[in-house]
Amino acid sequence: MNFFEQQAAARRSSMRLIALFALAILGIVAAVNAVALVLLGAGHAGGVIAVCTVLTLAVIGFGSLYRIASLRGGGAVLAAQFGGVAVPENTVDPQLRRLRNVVEEIAIASGVAVPKLFVLEEEAAINAFAAGYSPSDAAIAVTRGALERLNRDELQGVIAHEFSHILNGDMRLGIRLMGVLFGILMLGLIGRKVLQHGSGGRGRGVGPLLLAALAAMAIGYIGLFFGRMIKAGVSRSRESLADASAVQFTRQTAGLAGALKKIAGLHEGSKLSDRGNAEEVSHMLFGDGVGFGGHAFSKLFATHPPILQRIRALEPGFRSEHLAALQARWTAQPPHGLEEDVRLGLVGAQAAIPPPLPPADARLDVTPPMVVAQVAQPQADDYRLADAIVSALPAALHALARQRASAMPLLLALLLDEDAAIAGKQFGEIASRMGAEAAEAARALRREHVAGLHPAQRLPLASLTFPLLRQRPRPELDAFLDTVHAAVNTDGEVSLFEYCLGRLLQVQVREALDPARYVRFGRRKPGGVKQEFAALLAVVARAGNADAAAAQRAYLAGMQRVLPRDHVPYAPSAEGVRALDPVWEALDALDPLAKQAMVESVTATIGHDGRVCVAEAELLRTICAVLHCPLPPMLGEPVRA
């Protein structure tokens, strides 16, 4: 399945989740009514059933709404609730620095902003999870055991696995699942609390209260049963898909297979010490965090395929005796990830040298099916290009992108015009809104670091600053975004790069402030957004063709892809690229397969003249990002002269 088909499958999983949740509620209500009739008698059966049904539904509904509300803050909130410690952007800890480098490279390769990073410091097991509603608010949490035991390739495989959950819609489904399932566990939780605090009490009313608490706990196991069944049914197939995506992404099986072998061969495995947290997040973990065993009944509830099955899917010749040998070796001398990096040549001068970046004026050869296949499905060449982009960034510039004080001036420096007169006006706009010091910092960064930057590095560099921006107070962010808007519109014209950076800032930063508000699976069809399609393709056609007739032909080529039976005249707006502002909400509400047709149509328009320049590639990538279809940096091979 490609990205769009996976999104459609995730939506069907959501519908199946609702059906199973309804079945669980019916089972709990029936059990509560049965217990009530036994305890109170059948004399007033109708009234007893009515009251118990209403109260049970209220408890379940309140529990689900409460948990959903507690998760509205997105991935970072969830990671913090589970004991995650945020990883600083400028950390000097070798294990954390390695983790951040790996995550940054994979984020660039997959076309999304760098997620927030957390470490579960108290967990010696090897595990990880990704959480959030969309790539804009994603967070990845990794156990300290994973950092200590895994070498760089293995850590890369685990992180790539988690990125596949971010890209495939699993992360969004997982966090919704947590909120919904909490409600059907509420009766059991209430019963447990009553027993904990009321077991030492005395009096005539204590006995019935404790009896009711015991009944609530027993009924709670019905919710636990259904909850585990639902999580297992949703999670197992998605975990296998994530393993396959991680291998495709990182171009080798050894890393991911090595991580799985260490889970199977080390005493700590992947089982988390905090059983309560592990139970709730079990369907989102890299490995089995609860410890379901091998007997048949436990397999019904397992959220992951058996560990040996996962290893053999990557290395078909791996056998149980190989695992026994690894266990014996690691019992004598446990593995140390950083030491393995040195021994295997994964760091320093021995590490592989990334390929050079393509020429700044390169023209790319792309086709609509090629681009659709790349959306959220990065390949080996995307990862190699990400290596090249990160490695080619000057160390000083890379460090500036990770510092809180320089993140905003660096983004403003990217927007300063090459024309001195226009840049002077932009300086005034920045100074009037953020102060002369910020304006001077932006001008100095432009002069010393940004002026000679390769075009392919501009948006990836900007994406490295987004995690820092999300930490700013909302008023400060609003002032910054207003400054960006003023700097972009100083001369009355908006270039493709200016528009792309400004729009990405809006999406990546604003969505992260209220992530639950923006999460949805669209349902609209292309026929309901004809004018929005026309406006989008007209801008794209005009941007890539100076000749009006050529632009019209490019526009018609794109419309033929998405609305072949409709005739919507080519009518380019005098506002240029700013005409796109009103179309985003309607286009983002398209269903997944309609978005696939949209990406094909935009690609057909851009590539109608047989070439795609850097500015057009940035526009295509921005369109995909705004509509939540992340596109890797490598769109195709450069056209040979």
Enzyme catalytic residues: 162
Euclidean distance between CA atoms 587 and 624, whole angstroms:
11
CA 250, 233, 77, 273 dihedral sign is negative
Among the listed residues 21, 36, 16, the one whose alpha carbon sits nearest the alpha carbon of residue 219:
36
**Backbone dihedral angles phi then psi of residue 116, each to the nearest 5 degrees:** -70, 145
Euclidean distance between CA atoms 486 and 493, whole angstroms:
11
Asked if residue 282 lies in contact with residue 290, where contact means CB atoms within 8 angstroms, the answer is yes
Euclidean distance between CA atoms 379 and 315, whole angstroms:
20
* 132 CB-side CA count, 13 A: 28
Cα radius of gyration rounded to whole Å, the chain: 27
Among the listed residues 181, 188, 179, 171, the one whose alpha carbon sits nearest the alpha carbon of residue 70:
179
Strand partners, 116: 139
Among the listed residues 532, 586, 585, the one whose alpha carbon sits nearest the alpha carbon of residue 562:
532
Euclidean distance between CA atoms 81 and 7, whole angstroms:
28
Q: Residue 641 corresponds to which tokens in the numbers above?
A: 């002269």
Taking residue 90's Cβ as centre, other Cβ atoms within 10 Å add up to 11
Q: What residues contact residue 384 under an 8 Å CB cut-off, 6+ apart? A: 251, 354, 355
Taking residue 462's Cβ as centre, other Cβ atoms within 10 Å add up to 22
DSSP string, 252-284: -SHHHHHHHHHHHHSSSTT--S-HHHHHHHGGG
CA 67, 70, 74, 76 dihedral sign is negative
117 sits in which H/E element: strand 116-120
128 sits in which H/E element: strand 128-131
Taking residue 524's Cβ as centre, other Cβ atoms within 10 Å add up to 16
Among the listed residues 455, 469, 462, the one whose alpha carbon sits nearest the alpha carbon of residue 413:
462
Euclidean distance between the first and the last CA atom of the chain, given in angstroms as a whole number: 35
Query: Directed axis angle between helix 186-198 and helix 170-184, to 10°?
Result: 50
Q: Cα torsion at 484, 490, 492, 494 (round to 10°)?
A: -40
Three-state SS across 461-504? HHHHHHHHHHCCCHHHHHHHHHHHHHHHCCCCCCCHHHHHHHHH
638 sits in which H/E element: strand 637-638
